[in-house]
Amino acid sequence: MSKGEVSYYKNLAGLANTKRGKINFFDQNQKAFFLDAESDEWFNMMIEYAKKENLEEEKVNQLEDLKWIEMPDSLKLFAFEYCIANGDSYQE
C-alpha cells in the first residue's frame, strides 16, 4: 500500500458526497477497499453489515459471491462509510 494510492483514493472519495456518488465510487474503485493486504477491514465490515441488516450467514455468503457491481446499494454505502470514510487505511 503506497501513500500515493491512499491519497489518490482519499481525494477521489472526498468528491463522493451523495449516496449516488458513494455508490459510484464503490462500483468503480474496488481496489480502494483492499489497499492493505494485511487488513481484516473488509471482513470486519461484512460482520458489522450482517449485524446491522440482521443477515444469516448463508445470506452473507451469497452477498460475497456476487460480482462487485451487483452488491446491494445498502452494502456499498455501508462499506464506503466503514472502509473509506472511517477506515484505518485512510486515517492520517
> What residue spans define the domains of the chain?
3-90
- pLDDT value at residue 64: 92
- pLDDT value at residue 1: 67
d(CA 62, CA 84) in angstroms, rounded, equals 23
- pLDDT value at residue 47: 95
Residue 13: phi and psi, rounded to 5, are -65, -35
**Residue 88 CA from chain centroid, whole number:** 12
| Positions in the chain short of pLDDT 50 | none
d(CA 31, CA 8) in angstroms, rounded, equals 11
